[in-house]
């Protein structure tokens, strides 16, 4: 292992990145409430601009909730979502700025975002997506497996689950304890020279 990793155990890096895989099948093993609460308590500590924290999460795990979710899913995502212990609707709050007096109390930051609908949208979407990433890493750190997905009808999800909140759906992420027998072979990744530049 390179010296730059000396402060992180190989087990930690493997759990978070190197051996971790997107899951397509799940063990019949529930995810307890306290694990989901702990998951939030970890992921919420990830950085967002002006501590705006626009990410919102709906943990769908009841039979009723799964049936509401069913018609919103693409065919390729249906079975793995119906059998996952939890499917998280990773969303964002377009009016995140209403919480800034609590989250960023040392100055009035609301006008930074209320003055421009485009700035507010970009901030909510970008930082909400970051929080979705934190969700996946925090889940892996807690010993869970993840399966993020884009194949769903966002408008239907919002109508079924978010209509009373004003939140907007970003992506879905299945959570639970994966079935190793249903993991596909790892696909290639780009080399540094293709994906990165020094400036």
What does the pLDDT look like over 65-111, one tens digit per residue?
A: 999 999 999 999 999 999 999 999 999 999 999 999 999 999 999 99
pLDDT at 5: 54
In sequence order, the 6+-apart residues with CB closer than 8 A to the CB of 79 are none
pLDDT at 165: 98
pLDDT above 80: residue 171: yes
**pTM score of the predicted model:** 0.94
Domains of the chain: 30-179 (3.40.109.10)
CB neighbourhood size of 105 (10 A): 10
């Amino acid at each position: 292992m390179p010296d730059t990793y000396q402060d992180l155990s190989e087990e930690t890096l493997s759990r978070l990145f190197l051996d971790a895989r997107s899951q397509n099948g799940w063990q019949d093993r529930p995810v307890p409430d306290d694990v989901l609460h702990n998951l939030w308590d970890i992921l919420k500590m990830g950085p967002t601009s002006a501590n705006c924290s626009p990410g919102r999460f709906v943990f769908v795990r009841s039979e009723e909730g799964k049936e509401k979710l069913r018609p919103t899913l693409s065919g390729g995502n249906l079975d793995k979502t119906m059998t996952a212990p939890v499917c998280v609707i990773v969303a964002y709050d377009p009016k995140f700025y209403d919480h800034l007096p609590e989250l960023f109390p040392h100055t009035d930051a609301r006008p930074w975002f209320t003055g421009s609908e485009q700035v507010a949208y970009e901030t909510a979407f970008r930082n909400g997506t970051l929080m979705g990433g934190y969700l996946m890493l925090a889940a892996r750190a807690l010993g869970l497996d993840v399966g993020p997905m884009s194949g769903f009808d966002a408008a239907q999800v919002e109508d079924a689950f978010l209509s009373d909140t004003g939140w907007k759906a970003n992506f879905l992420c299945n959570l639970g304890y994966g079935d190793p027998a249903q993991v596909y072979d790892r696909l290639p990744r780009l080399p540094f020279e293709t994906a990165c530049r020094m400036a």
